[in-house]
Amino acid sequence: MPMLATKLSAAATAAVRQAMSVASVGSCLLRHHVRFPSGHCVVAQPSSNRAAFMSTVATAKNRKAAAADDTVPTLIIKDDCLALNLPGSGSGSSIFHHVWLRDNCPCPACIHPSTRQKLHSSGDIPTDIQPIRVQWVRSNSDPSAATGATSKRKAESHMFAHTDAADQWVLEVEWPAFAFPSRGERAGNDNAQADAAVLGDTEPHVSRYSASFLRRWNYSSPNRDAIHPNYLYPDPEPWSGAEVDAQGHLHVDYNSLPPIEQLLPIAASSPAAAPASSVADRTRHLTFPPVTSLPPHILDRFATHGLVFFHNVPTNRGDDYVETLAKRFGHQLRWTFYGSSWDVKSVAQSTNIAYTNLFLGLHMDLMYFEAPPGLQFLHMLRTNVKGGSSLFLDMLHTWRSFVKAHPRDVWQPLTSVPTAFHYAHAHHAPGDGPHWLARQHALSTDEHGSQMYYAPPFQGPLMPLPSGDVSWASDPHVVKAWYKGMRAWDEHVRRQKMVMIDLKPGDAVLFHNRRVLHGRTAFDSVQDGVGAGEKAVRHLRGCYVDWDEFLDRWRVSRYR
């Protein structure tokens, strides 16, 4: 077994012998530093026959007295992976496959330093790649000082770009050279191999992974749920109308938010900056700062509950405030055939039931889109009608209670039989069918509550599937099972206690359009007490933001 060592004292030699006496671990090779009183360090490297040995992490004098920050983390090299005890991750080993580590090297040669985009394909990495050298090093050590460092690696001494200031240790791995076929301009053509030969590594490559980087992307630790918060998606907290009445949802005073003028460039906030007369017009193509636009607890509460109310939102400038409020939650508004924002009020010969004074049952918007928007904002500008209360219901909570209360054969067809949603009106329905049409599974068991589709006003007939799809079309009994399940679901929904609120002028509501159902009670078009010549009106302004836009804001705020 080759070893690197200098001037080992008697105590050091004893420590090595003690480490070598530990039982073998089969085909595994434990690699780490053993620190001695004199400060010397021994680095174990793979032997030619992959013989297994283990080493302890301790000082030669007293292993229990070793300070935590002086204790070198352990690692085991296996045939295709490393088993690491990551600092700060609690007990238990975490597995990182060699191919994964090489693919996710964070150095500037693999991740472009300014665009932060990957410079190779995962398919470029040999699946049987083996490291040449592996060791833990101090995070403040000089990467160019590694044994055998070449001038190229010295020039890449800023590989610590992914090192957290609080990290004590960095995993350093040296890899063999290989080609990167995806980097060739003619990849996939006859000369792809010639390109690959030019663009491949010409010498071993050194990767350095901070402990925080490895903890963040740890995919195997038994403690990952405890040590690694959900980075991709919020953990939804289902709620019922009764719980909202008891605990209250988040209510925010608009005046407590950072003023718009503080979020915009001077040119955009200046009245003379552009001929447009409204802030919404001048800022339509601008983005607000993701960190300072909103307090993090507002983003967190919406992320978990999907419902937030705002009060004292100004009403004197039309679409200004609903659009600028929405842009605090996402970079851009979702443009639809309704425009960037739109009015909701009762009109004659309406093309949408929302533009009447009729009862509007619980539903989601734009289910006839392949990707319906995630966030919906409604800002009450004016109301003097009797009735028209806004209704909200958490579909995630309702669906989970429905599944719990009914046998599988009742709810399963709702998750497997695709349902058609369409918008069939005017120029959106030329000829024999609508232009706006999407086929979705009505309900979902998605744990994040973002893949649910329910909009009875826009539901079309069950669509026949292509003959090659036999998931249900070949069994006519499935159609009847779907209707049985939908009837049970609708009855369950009607039994739920909903959130009912009378929005006043200046109130605005934000809800998760892919999770929270919304509706409205009917209202009288003539209101007692309305002055002579004054028409009764219920007028809201609304807009949409995509769920991905919000997730970006939430992640930046949570993990900045």
**Do 324 and 402 sit in the same domain of this protein?**
yes
Residue whose pair of structure tokens reads 């009912």 in the numeric block: 500
**Do 438 and 496 sit in the same domain of this protein?**
yes
Q: Is residue 61 part of a domain?
A: no
Quickly list H helices, 222-354.
224-227, 241-247, 260-263, 266-269, 279-283, 296-305, 320-326
Q: Is residue 273 part of a domain?
A: no
Residue 38, classed as helix, strand or coil, is: coil
The residue range of the domain holding 169 is 74-139+164-181+198-226
Rounded Cα–Cα distance for residues 218 and 213 (Å): 8
**Do 234 and 357 sit in the same domain of this protein?**
yes
**Do 132 and 250 sit in the same domain of this protein?**
no
Q: Is residue 28 part of a domain?
A: no
**Do 303 and 220 sit in the same domain of this protein?**
no
Provide the terminal-to-terminal Cα distance of the chain, rounded to the nearest Å: 45
Rounded Cα–Cα distance for residues 166 and 560 (Å): 15
Q: Is residue 135 part of a domain?
A: yes
Residue 275, classed as helix, strand or coil, is: coil
**Do 495 and 424 sit in the same domain of this protein?**
yes
**Do 135 and 244 sit in the same domain of this protein?**
no
List, in order, residues 6 or more apart from 114 with CB less than 8 Å away. none
Quickly list H helices, 294-377.
296-305, 320-326
What 3 state SS string does 181-248 have? HHHCCCCCCCCHHHHHHHHCCCCCEEEEEEHHHHHHCCCCCCCHHHHCCCCCCCCCCCCCHHHHHHHC
pLDDT given at position 184: 76
List, in order, residues 6 or more apart from 262 with CB less than 8 Å away. 292
CATH of residue 330's domain is 3.60.130.10
**Do 171 and 234 sit in the same domain of this protein?**
no
pLDDT given at position 178: 93
Residue 413, classed as helix, strand or coil, is: helix
Overall number of domains in the chain: 2
CATH of residue 221's domain is 3.30.2020.30
Handedness of CA 70, 147, 42, 107 (dihedral sign): positive
Quickly list H helices, 306-353.
320-326
**Do 213 and 303 sit in the same domain of this protein?**
no
Q: Is residue 367 part of a domain?
A: yes
**Do 177 and 246 sit in the same domain of this protein?**
no
Rounded Cα–Cα distance for residues 64 and 286 (Å): 58
**Radius of gyration, alpha carbons of the chain:** 31
Q: Is residue 205 part of a domain?
A: yes
**Do 98 and 177 sit in the same domain of this protein?**
yes
pLDDT given at position 282: 66
**Do 456 and 527 sit in the same domain of this protein?**
yes
Over the chain (560 residues), what is each successive 10-residue block's mean pLDDT? 37 41 34 33 37 34 44 90 83 88 95 92 95 91 44 37 64 95 67 54 92 87 58 85 76 92 62 53 75 90 94 81 92 90 80 81 92 96 93 94 95 86 68 67 64 87 62 68 94 95 96 95 70 72 95 85
Q: Is residue 59 part of a domain?
A: no
Residue 438, classed as helix, strand or coil, is: strand
Q: Is residue 4 part of a domain?
A: no
Quickly list H helices, 279-423.
279-283, 296-305, 320-326, 395-405, 408-416
